[in-house]
Structure 1
Amino acid sequence: MIPSTPETATRAFFSFPKVTDPARHRDYNAWHQLDHRPENLALPGVVHGDRWVRTPACERLGSYPDPALAGSQYLAMYWFAEPAADSIAEWKDLGDRTIHQGRRPELAWTERPMTRMFRPVRGYVAPRALVTLAALPFRPHRGVYVEVSRVETSPHPDVADLSRFEHETQVPDLLARDGVAGVWTFRSAPSRGNPDGPVTRIRLTYLEADPVGFARALAADPLPAPPAALASTATPLLTGPLATITPWEWNWFDEPAATENGAGA
């Protein structure tokens, strides 16, 4: 059997957690980084997993049209090996077992406004990255720029036209920008009861550049806009930078010792 890689995976999980108790961010990161994520990565059906933080500096440069996602401070994702159904079942079983082992302290003070499975659509590597597409998620990076949107009816020709514009125009523009290592795009699966219903899409840009600096540069020089006739085809839900999490460096949301103007607390 050929080992699965992100390039061959057919399922990826995305979650946008929100820590509801401001005093528990360090507890959340300690649990996730030292218990939850290692256990997930040890599963044979998990190809890779990563997570990022929307620091206060990142948050100020984002756009959050969807109120449900506006307060999420983190993004987590996992890639699943084939057969995906078996890998996902094993992963879910681990999650249930850790609850009964008393290893899910975060359940009392976190919310997950979006948690669902997605299907990878297409990935790209910037020529400067010098790695294969399968290696892109494993390559060290400083953060990501994430764009989440919703299209109401996937079979509609405008969706195909917008997707073509994004892949043929916007993604090449991204890959040519300083600090971009690569791009992956994803779509959610329509519900079984409504196969022609809304689809959520995610574009994840892997950054060598500081994500805050990249977001500022992108705001000053935006990507090409889609044709006016396609502008309303997708509804933005969340856009902005997130930083890679460094082990034990979890102080982004700590109370500052003094205000920005130097007044002591």
Structure 2
Amino acid sequence: MFSELAFFSFIQLTDPSFHRAYNEWHQLDHLPENLALEGVAAGQRWRHLDEYRSLTTGEAEFTDANYVAMYWFRPPVEQSVEAWDALGEASFQWGRGPLIPAVKRPLLGFFKPVKGYAAPRALVNPDVLPFRANQGVYLTLTSTDEPHGMDTHTAYTREDRELIPALLDVDGVAGAWTFSFSHVQQHKTLPFAGPAERKQGSLRVRLVYLEDYPAVVTPKLQEIERELDILAPTQQVLFAGAIKTIIPWQDWD
């Protein structure tokens, strides 16, 4: 596995007039600076479009998000995250964020990659998916109060052996990755912190990489999820929906 740790951030803009300024900052400043770090293997950000909200389920705290960002870290992850944190502090001292107006972050958390899956049509190893062009992803974020309960274990067995193979058969799906929650972000110098501390494994992320328009593929994926119904009784869906790859200069407003 090329990465031992990933980071997810859900972002909500409290003032819609800041979309372009936020997108310009993230795409032309923040993201390139982070990707230039030796310890950052990959990173991307997607937009939760208003027209996708009818295809989204979950809790308002997360479904109200406008963007989701993620990064993959190379080992040794302690040094990689330390350099990443240091860049955040340096950027603040330069007057270039990451504290910027109108931005609310309901989730700032580190996750351990669990397993990657590539659809045969993609012709690549799962490790390649984060570097491969995509139209967007179908993201599912769930929580559980029993991260190591038997029902949770059964749900993960069915996810691996039933659900994800069925999702990979859908046209427009390139592959998938699953992630298990490790810890919230506690920045050493900046006032960034995730929500109240959670148990390890209490959050689960599933990313389904799409090579067709998310609005076209998502209903097919959701139908499979409903038919298989793998969620454990203790699991709660916080966010399940499509988020679109951002095209610089075209869809920033």
TM-score normalized by the length of structure 2: 0.89
The 5-angstrom pairing of residues 18-167 of structure 1 reads: 18-64=12-58, 66-104=59-97, 107-167=100-160
Identity %: 39
- CA displacement at 1:8 relative to structure 2: 2.8
2:241 aligns with 240
- Answer yes or no: is the 8 Å Cα contact 2:111–2:183 preserved in 1: no
- Answer yes or no: is the 8 Å Cα contact 1:173–1:223 preserved in 2: no
1:258 aligns with none
Cα separation, 2, equivalents of 1:209 and 1:79:
23
2:192 aligns with none
SS at match of 2:217: helix
Cα deviations across residues 42-69 of structure 1 (Å, max 9, x unaligned)? 00000000110011122221112x2211
Gaps of 5+ in 2: 185-196
- Answer yes or no: is the 8 Å Cα contact 1:125–1:181 preserved in 2: yes
1:199 aligns with 202
Name the aligned partner's letter for residue 204 of structure 1: L
- CA displacement at 1:234 relative to structure 2: 1.1
- Answer yes or no: is the 8 Å Cα contact 2:182–2:200 preserved in 1: no
Is 1:213 the equivalent of 2:216? Answer: yes
Cα separation, 2, equivalents of 1:190 and 1:42:
24
- Answer yes or no: is the 8 Å Cα contact 1:170–1:224 preserved in 2: no
- CA displacement at 1:105 relative to structure 2: 6.8
TM-score normalized by the length of structure 1: 0.85
- CA displacement at 1:224 relative to structure 2: 3.5
Q: 1:151 to 1:36 in 2, by over 3 A?
A: same
2:191 aligns with none
1:249 aligns with 250
Name the aligned partner's letter for residue 206 of structure 2: R
Name the aligned partner's letter for residue 109 of structure 1: A
Q: 1:196 to 1:26 in 2, by over 3 A?
A: closer
Cα deviations across residues 148-183 of structure 1 (Å, max 9, x unaligned)? 000112221111111001110000000111100000
2:193 aligns with none
2:194 aligns with none
- Answer yes or no: is the 8 Å Cα contact 1:124–1:182 preserved in 2: yes
- Answer yes or no: is the 8 Å Cα contact 2:151–2:232 preserved in 1: no
Task: Flag as ranges the 4+ runs of structure 1 deviating above 4 A.
Answer: 194-198, 219-223
Q: 1:219 to 1:133 in 2, by over 3 A?
A: closer
SS at match of 1:140: coil
The count of residues paired between Structure 1 and Structure 2 equals 242
Q: 1:202 to 1:70 in 2, by over 3 A?
A: same
